[in-house]
Structure formats: structure tokens, C-alpha cells
Amino acid sequence: MQTNTADTHAQDAQRKLGAQSAAHPAPAPDGDDRDTLARAFFRYTLNDIAHFSRVLVGRTLRSYQLAVARPVLASVRRRQGAVFTVEMARQMGKNELSAHLEAYLLYRYQRRGGAIVKCAPTLSPQTLISRLRLESILDRPWLAPYWQRAHGNMVTVGSARVMFLSAHEQANVVGATADLLLEVDEAQDVDEEKFAKEFLPMAAAQNATIVLYGTPWTKDTLLAKYKALNLAHEEKTGERRHFSYPWQVGARENPRYGAAVRAQIRQRGEDDLVIRTQYRLEEVDDAAGFFPPPLQAALQGAHPRQQQPQADAHYVAAVDVAGEESAAARAQGGNSRRDSTVVLIGERVRRRDPALGFALPAVDVVQAYQWTGLATTEQYARLVRLLGEEWRVQQAVIDATGIGDALARFLQARLGADRIEPFTFTAQSKSALGYDLRTLAASGRLQLWADDGSAEYRECWRQVRRCQLTLHPGNRIGFHVPVSQGHDDYIAALAMLARTVEGAAPPAASVALPPRETQTEGY
């Protein structure tokens, strides 16, 4: 860092130059005092990224961001070709750091020239957002006149440029060169083979520095493998190339951020995957139950099972439609029964969220039906009577995967499209459903009825206890009961029932946003 005296001299130069029009801040070419001051000013700001960010961008980087930026820039300057791994909890400024690095290098190398490549798992929105973030940083009075966009995916300043590319497996990126810096955003989601074959060669010719940003997932991701190499390198040489900053680091520098994360932890629970991977920065594996003990405790309700609808109550439902037993299941011989159609009836209620301090929509499961071996026509007749006449549900989510598609469409035609929602299970939709289910269960907003000694209660909890978590690339999750241990139809129905919680009307604005005397700025 420069001394306070140097800061004062730079501020004095900036103040004297301030009379110059913001539209034409470039130093005058006649060599007068203004030119001398301008050169001193820009030399000072480009001497250290901390000065550049504070003076030209107008945003001071936090200490942990600078701890990453300085060794990265030293590697760029010395052509060391180091590979850095950076893990920062969500909303702690990882993308801001990347944009500041890019902006700084653009202006430092605008005459000499050089190329930066920034890639992310998808072109839109991830790569697009990265480009827009850089442009927002460059749109400052002292920087704006000199940069321009080229070819849609490139930002240039003089002879220096940043190119934004997709790291999707199908993307064609051959031919690009990164002679200054190669950045990989969300590196835990980038295919390792794609990176090795198409992106590493971009940095090889000029021994460019590489930075992999992201949050942990499993031990076999691209980010995790380079992290392990960097930790081994640090143990051997003492040189730090891996930087990990969990949410507590950000909370120390920004108490409001800490308060927001603590609220999420209270709402989701300490064992929530998002909390563990994206805030505590823990690697996870899939050798774990989908419902750990804290979630099982939160899922257990105290309300009784209802044999008939109650006056003034509002009901919803979820239906997991039975499919044919697979050959694999028959071969393992572990199933004690055939696949069943499971219907769960839920009552919409409001339950106080301890993290937020006010009541939110919730669903209590109040009845369950299990049908085995019924023809589709018989299932249709029962569902029309059960959903439309007996419980008069406001919303029902029907498994429309495979044979359930026709059943869902027939029910839509009979009971109305506004009441019947077909749901198709895919890897992506099941992952989103799994996250919602765990979050709602952890917050007590989805609960099963109290133990009534019934076969349905026992089977539901048997599946809850045996349900396993699986992890997939792209932070996707799955859930299933192993084939040798039975079926997971109650779990599928419970997950679909979670959609009816999110579909409930939100609380009144006066409840959700009580009046406050002051409004604080977000992080």
C-alpha cells in the first residue's frame, strides 16, 4: 500500500484534473502541467489494484478480495503461469473481484496489448452477466471514454481485450487465446475434459495465469481437483494458490451480510446443502440420507390425520402415479410389493417462520391413500371423486411422467387446468423439487401427521428414513430409495406436495415488509 502522503498527492492530482470535462478526461497532448498531473495520477492508480478500484472505479475492494487479486496480478506480470483456485461464499464479491481484475488489466495493458478469456458453464446467463458486470465497472467517468464492445462477446481498451466464452460441452471455442489471464467461473460445473482440451491450450502459448472460481460440490469436480493440487503445492513450498473464504469472513467485514446468512441458516438448517456448499464451503458426497435426523424431526408434525375435510379448510394434493416394476427391481428381488399410486392430501395453513418472524404458507399432510394394482381407468374414477368431490382440492400436482401423462390430462379436462398441474420428472426438475422439499421440511413448513399406527404412516416413514441423496454435476441433486429397499412413491408425492406450498398466496405486504424508519443498502 502507498503512504497517506501518496494518497494525498493522487487526490490533489485528481482534484486539479477534475475541472476537465468528464467526456474528455484523457490528458492533453501539449505536455503542460495538466499532462504531468494526469500521468502521475494514472501511474499511481495503476500501481496497485487497490488504488485503481478505490480511485477510478469508486469501490474499495475488501481485504480478502485484495488477498486474491495481488498474487494473481503478480503472476500475470511475471508470466509465471500459476493456477489459482478461489472459493468465496455466495454474495461475498467473487464476481466483483473478477471484474475488477479484468478492468485493471485492460487499462494496464492497453498499449502493450494482451488478451483475457473469461468462461462460464453457460453463455446465458452466466457469461452474459460477467460481461455486463465488467461493463458496469468500466462505466465510470475516468474509464468510460476508452472502452468499447466488439463482436458482441468482447470488451476492449486500446490493444487489450477480454473475450467472454461459454464452457458448455457443446460450445465451439477453438482458436481463442489468453496470453494474460484465463478465468473460469463456477468451475465446479465445468467439464474437466472440455477444460483440458479446449481452454488450457489457450493459456499455454504465453504461460498465462489461470484462476478457477467457484464453490465446492463433490471431490471429483474440476475445481476440487485443482484445489487439491494447490493445497499440496502450498504444503510443499509455502506459496498460497488456493483461497477459501466462507461466509464468516464476509460477515466480519459486513455485519449486514452476516445477519442475512444467519437468517438463511435458521430457515434452511445447518445441514442444508446450500448452506454447507455455498456458504460454509464444504465438499459433500452422496453417501448420506436425503432426510438427516434434523430434517426428520422437523418433518414430524403433531396434527392428527383427518378422515374427512374440515369446514373452512383449504386442501391441496399430490399424486405419484404407479409405473410398471422394472426388470432391475425384479432381478434384485428386494421389493416386498409392487409399485403403488400414492395420493397425499394436505391442508394449507400458515406457520411462523423463526428466521423471518412472521407466518408463511405451509402444508400439513392430513391424509394418505395407497393403491396397488389398479387399472388406469379405476385410478381416474377414484381421483375424480377424491380430489373433485370429497376433498375439493384447490390445487393438485400429478406425476405426468410416463403413464401418468394421460391421467393428468384427463383430470385437467374434468376438474380444470387451474386446479390440476401435471409435473414431469427430469433431472433438472427433480433437483429443483429436492431442494424445495428439504428447505420446506427444515423450516417446518411441510409436516406429516402424527403417528396413528396405520400402514400408510409406517410405509411413509420407512421411505423417509431410507431415502438417499445423490449429487450430480451442476449442483443438481437427486433422491431415491435404493431398489433393493423398496419404492419411493411417498417421497415423490411429498416432493410434489412441496410445490403447493410455494404456490400459495404470499402474506400481505404489511406483514412481510413492516414499516421501518431507515432503509439499509443491500450487500
Using the predicted structure, report yes or no on whether residue 11 has a pLDDT greater than 90: no
**What does the block give as the cell for 355?**
428466521
Domains of the chain: 46-248 (3.40.50.300), 286-502 (3.30.420.240)
The larger pLDDT score, comparing residue 268 to residue 495, is at 495
- The 10 Å Cβ neighbour count of residue 63 is 11
* CA distance readout (Å), 37 to 28, 188, 416: 10, 46, 74
Lowest mean pLDDT among 59-68, 94-103, 254-263, 348-357: 348-357
What mean pLDDT comes out for the span 259-268? 89
Give the pTM: 0.73
User: Tens of pLDDT along 415-433?
Assistant: 999 999 999 999 999 999 9
Cα–Cα distance between 62 and 44 in angstroms, integer? 19
Sequence-separated contacts (24+) of 58-61 with Cβ below 8 Å:
58/140, 59/96, 59/100, 59/137, 61/93, 61/96, 61/97, 61/100
User: Tens of pLDDT along 37-74?
Assistant: 767 777 888 899 999 999 999 999 999 999 999 999 99
Give yes or no for a contact between 490 and 460, defined as CB atoms under 8 angstroms apart: yes
Is cis: bond before 125, omega within 30 of 0? yes
The larger pLDDT score, comparing residue 360 to residue 18, is at 360
Give yes or no for a contact between 45 and 51, defined as CB atoms under 8 angstroms apart: yes
Which among 498, 516, 513 is positioned nearest to 358, based on CA atoms? 513
For the packed helices 489-502 and 455-466, what is the interaxial angle rounded to 10 degrees? 90
The larger pLDDT score, comparing residue 172 to residue 36, is at 172
| Per-residue H/E/C for 7-66 | HHHHHHHHHHHCCCCCCCCCCCCCCCHHHHHHHHHHHHHCCCHHHHHHHHHCCCCCHHHH
pLDDT, averaged across the chain: 86
